[in-house]
Structure 1
């Protein structure tokens, strides 16, 4: 079922359950032939850093690192909120595969009109 889908994740180690479920849904969307973007904002921007998610593993789910790797390998894109990223002093040279630092206008452009989305 072609189309687009957005998963917005504003959590990281402050709520690993939400961060994990967000990437589970993103993987389901990209596997359903949706052009899928994960938008990381607020604390979620920390997930953009290589190694950060390595120790996050919620019971009943694949490790978050694997979910993120699989998402990028399947063609998913990770947009990282630029102001949120900068506020936290994160490293642009340490981004995970598929991650791009963007402003809000890029997300709005991708979403266009009527694009389904979900937030965690």
Structure 2
């Protein structure tokens, strides 16, 4: 078993519940010692824009921005789909701290190392 774990998040404020649960699972994975990557893609790419996640707070969960910060602080890796980010008119200078824009090849490389994956 590789110890690698990928959480693909395809939602943002269009489904705050899925975006939030994705980060809850990512935090659990990184806390359990897995090398954990969150891949923000499709609508989830919006979460990488500074200020966007501030108002997403699903009942019963910590605020999304707090969960995102915890993930990065715990050593999780935050990747953002390059074409998804660009398609939405977002600029690289607006990226949140800890986020890196990547292409599909980087994702394929990580997955090819035997990473388990889940999508929200």
For Structure 1 versus Structure 2, the TM-score category normalised by the shorter chain is over 0.9
Q: Structure 1: which 5+ runs fail to align?
A: none
Runs of 4+ more than 2 Å apart:
none
1:27-84 Cα offsets, whole Å, 9 max, x none, are 0000001110000111100000111000110000000000000000011111111111
* Per-residue deviation, 1:98: 1.7
Residue 92 (structure 2) aligns with: 92
1:62-119 Cα offsets, whole Å, 9 max, x none, are 0000000000001111111111111111021121122110001101111224311100
Q: CA RMSD in A?
A: 1.3
Q: Does the 8 A contact of 1:6 with 1:36 survive in 2?
A: yes
Q: Structure 2: which 5+ runs fail to align?
A: none
TM-score of the two chains, using structure 1 as the length reference: 0.96
1:9-36 Cα offsets, whole Å, 9 max, x none, are 0000100000000000000000001110
TM-score of the two chains, using structure 2 as the length reference: 0.96
Residue 117 (structure 1) aligns with: 117
